[in-house]
């Protein structure tokens, strides 16, 4: 049983890269029953600047000292992939609840250690698979669950953009396989894999994968583009494409059912398009207020305060890692 904490939950953010600046810090700032208490960065001037911007009283340049302090109840871990497991392990051992960036670890062995630690120390371990908290994703989940397109037969998923350096000029660690664990499949595969598991309510597996040939030949470099063939329980099949070589940003899913097609567009245009099988009925279902709540940060705080099981949990994060590992087994043949 997870120990219940009285509010407000005191939050610390470890790592002040773009994901922390654009997602975690603004997210917590808009969340009730929590307070941003500390931030960590190796660059002290950067930490001071961000702390001043968000009104945060404490800064650290050493994450171990941050976790040893008694001023925090929970942390967001926004550091490179290879640090997720060691930081999470210490945080959990020090009694902190953990929201860890995706992928939760470099592999399932590391992920299992994190899950066991969260259970042993009775602390929340939530994985930052944030796309399932998108209002349009939630609305599509409702539509699929209602059977509006009948039996789901197949799908397509695509998440591509210009690569890590378009996101941050300091993102060199993405191209170091020891630190990243992989390229586009490791970086971007987490999103469609988790989102498909959430929307379909089923487990999936990777049945084949291909990467850009030039990157595959150069074993010291990560793959920049990857296409996967996937199968989900119930006979649902589809392909998933992720890549760093797109001049624009594309993030969309298409579900093919016995009664119609449902498209989810998280990049540009109408977010949801429902087309009946006869092609004469095309709908753009609207979002409702409940589709916007809770955010992943609100969910994290609620799990801590109300002893609720987190989702996506560490075990769910390990299922995503399993699919990533399946993909790499095909790429390394």
Helix axes 314-331, 108-120, angle to 10 degrees: 170
Q: Are residues 13 and 29 in the same domain?
A: yes
| pLDDT tens string 81-101 | 999 999 999 999 999 999 999
Determine the Cα–Cα distance for residues 137 and 134; give it in Å rounded to an integer: 5
Do residues 106 and 167 both lie within one domain?
no
Name the CA radius of gyration of the chain, rounded.
20
Identify whether residues 163 and 265 lie together within a single domain.
yes
Residues 73, 142, single domain; the answer is: no
* Shared-domain flag, residues 113 and 185: no
Alpha carbon of residue 136 to chain centroid:
16
**β-strand partners of 256:** 154, 261
* DSSP SS3 for 96: coil
For residue range 237-278, list pLDDT tens digits in order: 999 999 999 999 999 999 999 999 999 999 988 899 999 987
Are the C-beta atoms of residues 220 and 177 closer than 8 Å to each other? yes
Distance of CA 160 to the CA centre of its chain: 15
pLDDT tens string 294-324: 999 999 999 999 999 999 999 999 999 999 9
Compute the distance between CA of residue 66 and CA of residue 229 in angstroms, rounded to an integer.
43
Answer yes or no: do 168 and 114 share one domain. Answer: no
How many domains does the structure of the chain reveal? 2
Same domain, 143 and 269: yes
CATH number for the domain that contains residue 84: 3.40.50.720
pLDDT of 174 strictly over 90: yes
CATH classification at residue 209: 3.30.360.10
For residue 30, give its domain range. 9-128+296-307
């Amino acid at each position: 049983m997870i120990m219940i904490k009285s509010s407000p939950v005191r939050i610390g953010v470890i790592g002040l890269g773009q994901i922390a600046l654009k997602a975690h810090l603004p997210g917590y700032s808009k969340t009730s029953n929590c307070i941003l208490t500390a931030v960590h960065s190796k660059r002290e001037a950067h930490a001071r600047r961000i702390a001043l911007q968000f009104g945060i009283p404490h800064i650290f340049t050493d994450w171990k000292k941050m976790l040893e302090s008694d001023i925090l109840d929970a942390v967001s871990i926004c550091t490179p992939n290879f640090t997720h497991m060691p930081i999470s392990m210490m945080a959990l051992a020090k009694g902190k609840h953990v929201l860890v960036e995706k992928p939760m670890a470099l592999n399932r062995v590391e992920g299992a250690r994190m899950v066991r630690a969260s259970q042993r120390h009775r602390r929340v371990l939530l994985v930052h698979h944030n796309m399932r908290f998108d209002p349009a994703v939630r609305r599509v989940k409702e539509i699929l669950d209602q059977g509006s397109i009948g039996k789901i037969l197949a799908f397509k998923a695509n998440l591509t953009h210009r690569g890590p350096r378009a996101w941050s000029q300091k993102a060199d660690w993405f191209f170091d396989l020891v630190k990243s664990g992989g390229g586009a499949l490791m970086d971007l595969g987490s999103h469609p894999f988790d989102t498909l598991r959430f929307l379909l309510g089923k487990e999936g597996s990777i049945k084949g994968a291909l990467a850009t040939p030039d990157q595959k030949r150069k074993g010291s470099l990560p793959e920049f583009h990857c296409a996967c063939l996937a199968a989900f329980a119930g006979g649902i099949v589809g392909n998933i494409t992720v890549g760093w070589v797109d001049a624009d940003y594309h993030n969309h899913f298409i579900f093919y059912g016995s009664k119609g097609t449902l498209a989810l567009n998280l990049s540009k245009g109408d977010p949801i398009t429902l087309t009946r099988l006869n092609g004469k009925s095309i709908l753009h279902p609207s979002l409702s207020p409940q589709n916007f709540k809770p955010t992943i940060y609100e969910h994290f705080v609620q799990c801590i305060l109300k002893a609720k099981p987190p989702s996506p949990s560490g075990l769910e994060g390990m299922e995503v890692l399993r699919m990533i590992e399946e993909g790499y087994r095909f790429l390394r043949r």
